[in-house]
Structure 1
Amino acid sequence: MKMKRMMFATAAVAAAAAAFLVPDLLDYHRFSTALDRQAQASQASGPWPQFAETCFACHGPHGQSRNAEYPALAGQPAAYLEAQLRAFANGQRDNLTMGPLARNLTDEQIRSLAAYYARQAPAGSPDAMENAALEARGKAVVQARSCQACHGEALTGKELAPRLAGQAEHYIAHQLAAFKSGERHDASGAMDGIAATLSNEDIPAVARYLARMSPDPRQIGARQDPAGQQR
């Protein structure tokens, strides 16, 4: 009887795990297919970096992570993604995972990865719950700091400034805290100065407001010319 109970419990766990993993496996298959197509299209200019497994594990299919610990890459400006990969590679950004990965990338691979994720359609944050009072405070802080000046009118990013609209709430809060503490630095110094003015109450409010914003695909598409190249 005890053995039967153990077998039943094992089967139940296996079934639950399968139910959880199958959607992700399907998404991974689609992601891998997209990368394979990109590889074929890029053969003339050099080999496509085969990092589907590595990128997918943290950043999700098409660069839209389901884990709020990791940033969404979909729809980010290509120039910003390139700059961050190079910052990880040269140690300007310290990260135990991204540092070694970025150091193994060639310039062509960095450009290809950045271009791929810049073309992907972004989605909203996976973790942001509605809280009208918190969002109102966050909106007021964002407007007072003129975040649109660098991150674009709809906060969908431009040039070397990332897309904030729809980014994961936990990730935004963590990065703002890192800028505020000096753990992370902005090459221009802008984010260091702005984050230093944020209170401990402002940071979660800003993170909630930005995460709750729906990224506008039209604004992201406006960053690209007809050939699909980032401006």
Structure 2
Amino acid sequence: MADLSSFPITSRWPAKNPDIIQLYSLPTPNGVKISIALEELGLPYEAHRIAFDSNEQKSPEFVSLNPNGRIPAIIDPNGPDGKPIGLFESGAILVYLAEKTGKLIPSDASGRYETLCWVMFQMGGIGPMFGQFGHFFKWAPEKVANNPYPVERYRDESKRLLGVLEARLEGRQWLMGDEYTIADIATFPWIEGARKFYGGAEVLDYKSFPSVMAWVERGLARPAAQRGLEIPKKE
């Protein structure tokens, strides 16, 4: 049985089975990237729910695994050279899981690097811009009631990014063509999240991006995505 005692986070969220991947997360657009990937890959894992309402992501135990205090994070007891490894940042975790299994990423070097470009596009563009849009539009409208600039700025940039995706996806099933990859898993939950959590579909003019929306629906229809979107479950 693996010994995870060197990871302080396990003192607060003990592993029932320390021999499998430990996932620390919440069903947010960032969090579900990893649960969806784990479900797609069929890797055994144990999910621990990190409650935002009590700021558990800022607790010393969680910060010991992710100094940035953000979900998701994982511990893999069977990391490189068979040694446990702790990882944070959803993009890095996706790359790690893909390379660990040889799945969800093209095997050729050119395809691999192109996939990583689209993962970084999500990490540096879609995630931050959609997140800021959602913050001002949904969660802080009273703070910008007399200043439309923040909402307009992030709305317009989010729509620009949707246009980039629309051009990429026209005539394609997935971001890499016929192959479903971590680039899709990184990105479509954010488009769905802006619709589901922020109520932003109309403001972001989703109807003007038919290729994007058809792609999101294909992603949501995958059984692994349907499971992963609900993990970690409420206790």
Q: TM-score, normalised by structure 1?
A: 0.29
More strand by share: 2
Greater Rg, structure 1 or structure 2? 1
More relative contact order in 1 or in 2 (CA 8 Å, sep 6+)? 2
Scaled by the length of structure 2, the TM-score of the pair is 0.29
